[in-house]
A and B are shown apart, each in its own frame.
Chain A
Amino acid sequence: MDMIDRYAHEVGQHLPHRLRADVEAELRSLLADAVEEKARQGGVPAGRELQASVLRDFGRPQDVAARYAPGPQYLIGPRLYPAYLTAVKVMLPILAALIVAVVAAGGFLAPGEEPSLTVFVRATGRFLWSALENLGVLTLVFALVERAMRQREPADQAFDPAALPPVNDPDRVSYFGRIVALYLIALLAVAFNVFPGWVAVPVFHGSEGAAHPLLAPGFGRYLPALNVWWGLAFLLNLAVLRRGRWTRPTRWLDFGLELGLAAILLRIVTGPPAFAYDRPIKVVLGWVLGFTAVSACVMLFRLLRRQPAEPWAAA
């Protein structure tokens, strides 16, 4: 029964570890039964040929394993797939445009080098690499969201038509917007913590790798606060996505995060040097701080004057 053992083992290789031994044992027993029965009916020996015939009828190991495997077999399901495709379609042209801009400004030219096929190939390689990196983070974020949303929905969740939100619903969550926010938060957290070299500007008329890092050693003192902020912002966006709509508590939490960001930015702008080009970067961050403060005021105003987050529920 060597072929049956190999088949059962192969099916097991495509299954979660906890199911493997049990399914393999059952398959061995079932297939042995099938082979014996066919041998008896046909009056032929239960040899390799008959085993192969039974296994062919049974199907390819990965197809059989897919029927045994519990739960959905995909990373990104039909609900989020359109938003994922949109995000990819938005991301790729932006990346291409950035690379073209850098190429046009001579960013990939070594000192004294003229534009040539080599430079073009180098720029294309850089684009493909960036596209892969971004696609990886984007896919990871979408997969996490898919998993989080899947856990939220029991199959027997009742549908109440009376609870349908109104057509003009300010609290409806845009999947695309929230997921892009999650993606950007994840990207920033990974870049600042794991690949600080990504936080850099390409140096024009320099060699390909000559990108000037923007972060100075002094920036490290702000990283813990930023990490907490990114973590909380990620969790809030995930919670809002799972619920499918904004509520008053999540709006207040969002406001709190906006205030937190303003506080961190204020500390950075008024603190000791943290960047390679400290003065110009802090001017830019000062503007960001201004926008954040205005945004927080607008949020507070809306929160204080607004009707309940679910107006139809109050009706």
Chain B
Amino acid sequence: MSKFKKDGGKPTPKISTSSLPDVVFMILFFFMVITHFRTSDLMIKLKVPTGISEVKKLEKKSLVSYIFVGEPLPQYQKLFGTEPRIQLNDAIAKLSDIQSFIEKERAARPESDVPFLTTSLKVDKDTKMGIITDIKQELRKCNALKIMYTGSNAKGLN
């Protein structure tokens, strides 16, 4: 008579699935917490000029479209080089893309708001004016004449 019975023949019991919803919800909440809404991820180096005293607060953010200019970040330099580039929304763009970008921004807003659309230039402080001038010419061509420069009131401590 053996003390230990060989367990054979008996099927293994089913795994209880009653905690499955908890696990699923935990994963769901985890992803909800770590995800952030994507506002255009910057692919360029952007340090706005500091020590600008005459700054004004933006009044209506919904009426502003942003153009970013600066040197690509190190991880993008293989792709886009080291010269200052233009970023529209979340892609590096060419100068010729600006007009269609403005058109798109206009189309996305009610017609009554179109005359108040402002283009905000967020430009890295080390950018040369050449590219800025080219951008302004492009903006002028599609009659986007309201532009804003971005600077910071903080004393230059960089």
Asked if chains A and B come from one complex, the reply is: no
Q: A residues touching B (Cβ–Cβ < 8 Å)?
A: none
- Chain B residues proximal to chain A, CB less than 8 Å: none
